[in-house]
Amino acid sequence: MTNLDTKLLKLSLVLLGGWFFSTIIIDFIAVPNIFRIISNSREAGQVGAKVFTLFNIMELTLAIILSIIFWKIPAEQKKIRWINRFLLSLLFLLILYYISILNPNIINFAVKMNEIGVGNSGYELLEQEHSFYHHLYVKLDSFKLISLLFLQISALFCYSSASEGEVQ
């Protein structure tokens, strides 16, 4: 493994760790607190939607950069290399799904719920649809976190293998 490959592995570890922890911070700390702090649910939803949209754009950028890195770095284990590439491709598609379908639907149903108001005709159906997309988001984000953790462990394994090879 070349010196450049080792530096790219270090970079991938930093990027994967940053992506993993920023997902946790935004999903479990920042956005829930937005809804606690801002009493108007419509305004809180708008702020939360803006945070997720910006974060998803950052995630898309990270997925592209990491895909380039993982295509460049030769992994000793072919299975690991292909699993990494496959997971990064899935993450890339997942983020595109968030940006193009999932987030717009969550926002759309929340806006319609606010327009109709609680107790009015059709509100429960909109709430069910909103809840479906929200729960789907939670499940997909769980997959994302597990994938990022696997990718980080894999990159760490490749890095430690490369470091041992340099020492010998």
Higher-confidence position of 37 and 110: 37
Are 106 and 129 contacting, i.e. CB atoms less than 8 angstroms apart?
no
Higher-confidence position of 77 and 104: 104
Q: What was the pLDDT predicted at 167?
A: 41
pTM value? Answer: 0.86
Instruction: Report the range of poorest mean pLDDT among 102-106, 148-152, 162-166.
Output: 162-166
Kindly state the average pLDDT of the residues 101-120.
Answer: 86
pLDDT band of residue 76 (cuts 50, 70, 90) is low
Q: What was the pLDDT predicted at 61?
A: 96
Higher-confidence position of 89 and 110: 89
Kindly state the average pLDDT of the residues 60-73.
Answer: 90
pLDDT band of residue 77 (cuts 50, 70, 90) is low
Rg of the chain on CA atoms, in Å? 20
**Is pLDDT of 108 > 60?**
yes
- The one-letter code for the residue type at 20 is F
Q: What was the pLDDT predicted at 166?
A: 56
Q: What angle do CA 12, 4, 145 make, to 5 degrees?
A: 10
- The one-letter code for the residue type at 139 is K
